[in-house]
Amino acid sequence: MNRSQLIDTIKLKRSYLCIGLDTDPEKIPTHLHKYDDPVFEFNRQIIKSTHDLAVAYKPNIAFYEGQGLKGWESLQKTIRFLDSYKSSIFTIADAKRGDIGNTSERYAAAFLGLPPTGLNFDAITVAPYMGHDSVKPFLKIENKWAVLLALTSNAGADDFQNSRLENGQTLFENVLGTSKEWGTPENLMYVVGATKAEMLSAVRKIVPDSFLLVPGVGAQGGNLEEVSKYGMNSDCGLLVNSSRGIIYAGKGEDFALKARGQAKILQQQMEVALYDHRII
């Protein structure tokens, strides 16, 4: 999905909701364990129940890698199921890859490439620490995106990201300013944690036109209203992710309906923000 298609989808659905599929076999409803692939069945029902409210889904690859070969099969079936909604759903592999050039080329082929060898995600999260040659292979594939880690909301973020350089910039500001030359707003997004909402203004000064993937709304305490206030641009420019707050909203056989209820609450708040910013 290219940038204009993504913007059109946001306007059509009146939503910039991304649902994180951080699917833990130990947390899914017990009745699903009768299925041959409980993780896929959980994902399938969540997607089927919420696809009209969300513009993106983001499987966290660690939850699938941690299950070995069976986990990879669950992931592959999940992305194939999402392909049936391809015209209206943006898919992100939350893999946080990034290595020397030839290795990144293989990662790009695995996650962004076409079947049968590639998973055909629209985007992949990438760590920028190794610099331009570790990121550019992800930007070479037409209509695919790299989502660069910029300002995260985990406890250890301050160990490096807010360190001051000699020029007065923080490290995350330097990452933004340097990396925006590697790609364009057509193929490069940035991860900015929702619990850092007050810093979104600083981010927007450096990358005013780029899409921002903002995790942490919901269970992690991020505030959607503040994220929208400080992070939205004239095209919306946001994909706001909620994972546990949606997918684990219910523990019984009606779990998918409960997930839809939580997704609907966020979508309605997003609709208000889009209207207030005169995007719809």
Query: Which of 48, 70, 77, 96 is labelled catalytic?
Result: 96
Preceding peptide of 116 cis, ω within 30° = yes
Q: How far is CA 224 from the centre of its chain?
A: 15
Whether a cis peptide bond, with omega within 30° of 0, leads into 137 is no
d(CA 77, CA 117): 13
Angle at 92 (CA atoms; ends 31, 135), nearest 5 degrees? 145
Instruction: Say which amino acid occupies 156.
Output: G
Q: Which of 45, 44, 74 is nearest to 61 (CA)?
A: 74
The whole-angstrom separation of Cα 144 and Cα 105 is 13
Distant-in-sequence, close-in-space partners of 234: CB < 8 Å, separation ≥ 6: 277, 279
To the query of whether residue 96 is one of the catalytic residues in this protein, the response is: yes
Amino acid at 154: N
For residues 38 and 32, the answer to whether their CB atoms sit within 8 Å is: yes
Q: How far is CA 63 from CA 66, 74, 124, 262, in A?
A: 5, 10, 15, 22
Phi, psi of 169 (to 5 degrees): -75, 150
Question: Which two three-digit tokens encode residue 91?
Answer: 């898919």
Instruction: Report, as residue numbers or ranges, the catalytic residues.
Output: 96
